Amino acid sequence: MSDVDGQQVAVVTGAGSGIGRATALRLLEGGFRVVVADVNEANAAETAELAAAPDRVVVRATDVRSEEAVAGALDFAVETFGALTCVVNNAGVGGAFGPIHTIESGDWDYTFEVLVRGVFYGIKHAARIMLAQGAGGSIVNVASVAGLGGGLGPVPYSAAKAAVVNLTRSVSIELAPERIRVNAVCPGAISTPLVHRGRPERVDDKLAATQPWPGHGRADHIASAIAFLAGPDAEFVTGEALVVDGGLTAAGPGRAFAERLNNDPGLRGMSGVNYGSTGVASVVRHRAGE
Ligand SMILES: NC(=O)c1ccc[n+]([C@@H]2O[C@H](COP(=O)([O-])OP(=O)(O)OC[C@H]3O[C@@H](n4cnc5c(N)ncnc54)[C@H](O)[C@@H]3O)[C@@H](O)[C@H]2O)c1
């Protein structure tokens, strides 16, 4: 199980903005007590102000690059709410970008400090506390579709997110016997301040066109998936990297091809079967009225 004396208590890193904020608010709606942990204290405070349940939310200034800070935020959850049952390792940045031969070591290290080391600290100290509690728990790491293949993010970001996916899968094996579940979510293109930089109207249409599902990805799409993984409905789910991308990776490079086929005037209104190189002639049927 993942509650201690019926309490559901979560720490959400990077909860001052975007996906983290939506997740904190979603977990609060679901009855969780939540520590909003972010390096940006003003934004974290704003998240807490948006909460409909002010008695169940606290803010904690946390830089996930610091082990002391992450351990402190998770201990703070126990001190404040009496338990820790869920940690969402969500804090993130775009990090280093540019052609590989121009990327500086310090920028590479910064990217991995936030995106990978921060997640390691979150898992390490969640495990320390949850093992001592002896009541299981849920850890959710926010990775990315960029961690599943090339070309969907800057190179250092993609490498870091791939590390998060495999870190998740590896450590889930170790913690499963203790009923501590470890999962990742892999969001697609989501309209958050990380992407729109305060001007969603400039990017939302472009984002909407990146995947088959109509409309752009929203932070609450990801928050819903995280809330599922956080809670008891996901009791048998661990070691999973749940893709939430409106069909972006399902379509892959085939999307442009499928669109071309769908729009090909020569093929419109036709069905049939192509027997390939078997020597059997293909059958083409014209659909009436098309
Ligand atoms: N937006 C997308 O399209 C998208 C897609 C895939 C994955 N993600 C991932 O989702 C997560 C959330 O991103 P978002 O889109 O909501 O971005 P966002 O910029 O809106 O929010 C990220 C939050 O993380 C915080 N943060 C950054 N560095 C931190 C640190 N060192 N310590 C503590 N907090 C820190 C920021 O202050 C901010 O509040 C990230 O891990 C990101 O990589 C986003």
Q: What pLDDT does 190 receive? A: 98
Q: Which atom of ligand 1 is nearest to the CA of 219?
A: 16
Q: What pLDDT does 1 receive? A: 41
Q: Which atom of ligand 1 is nearest to the CA of 190?
A: 3
Split into its structural domains, the chain has a count of 2
234 and 272 housed in the same domain: no
Q: 19 lies in a domain? A: yes
Q: What pLDDT does 274 receive? A: 87
Q: 3 lies in a domain? A: no
Q: Any idea which residue has 């085939």 for tokens?
A: 254
Other beta carbons within 10 Å of 223: 27
**Cα–ligand 1 centroid distance for 18 (angstroms):** 7
Q: What pLDDT does 254 receive? A: 75
264 and 248 housed in the same domain: no
Q: 1 lies in a domain? A: no
Looking up residue 149, the CATH number of its domain turns out to be 3.40.50.720
Provide CB contacts within 8 A for 71, sequence distance 6+: 121, 125, 128
280 and 235 housed in the same domain: no
Q: What pLDDT does 170 receive? A: 98
CA distances from 34 to 104, 125, 178, 217 (A): 37, 17, 23, 24
- Number of Cα atoms under 13 Å in the Cβ half of residue 4: 22
Q: What pLDDT does 150 receive? A: 81
228 and 269 housed in the same domain: no
Q: Which residues of the chain have pLDDT under 70?
A: 1-3, 290
- Pocket lined around ligand 1, Cβ cut-off 6 Å: 13-14, 16-20, 38-40, 43, 62-65, 90-93, 114, 142, 144, 187, 189-190, 192-195
Q: 268 lies in a domain? A: yes
Q: 216 lies in a domain? A: yes
For a ligand 1 pocket test, name from 194, 207, 218, 245 the mutation site with the most ligand atoms within 8 angstroms of its C-beta: 194
CA–CA separation, 250 and 203 (whole Å): 22
Domain region containing 160: 9-252
86 and 37 housed in the same domain: yes
For a ligand 1 pocket test, name from 59, 119, 192, 218 the mutation site with the most ligand atoms within 8 angstroms of its C-beta: 192
87 and 122 housed in the same domain: yes
CA–CA separation, 150 and 194 (whole Å): 20
63 and 202 housed in the same domain: yes
**Cα–ligand 1 centroid distance for 166 (angstroms):** 19
50 and 100 housed in the same domain: yes
**Cα–ligand 1 centroid distance for 11 (angstroms):** 15
- Give me the active site residues, please: 157
Residue 281 DSSP one-character state: P
Q: 110 lies in a domain? A: yes
Residue positions counted in the chain: 290
Q: 135 lies in a domain? A: yes
- Crossing angle (nearest 10°) for helices 18-29 and 41-50: 30
Q: Are 220 and 22 a contacting pair, CB within 8 Å?
A: yes
181 and 266 housed in the same domain: no
Q: Cα torsion at 203, 209, 210, 216 (round to 10°)?
A: 60
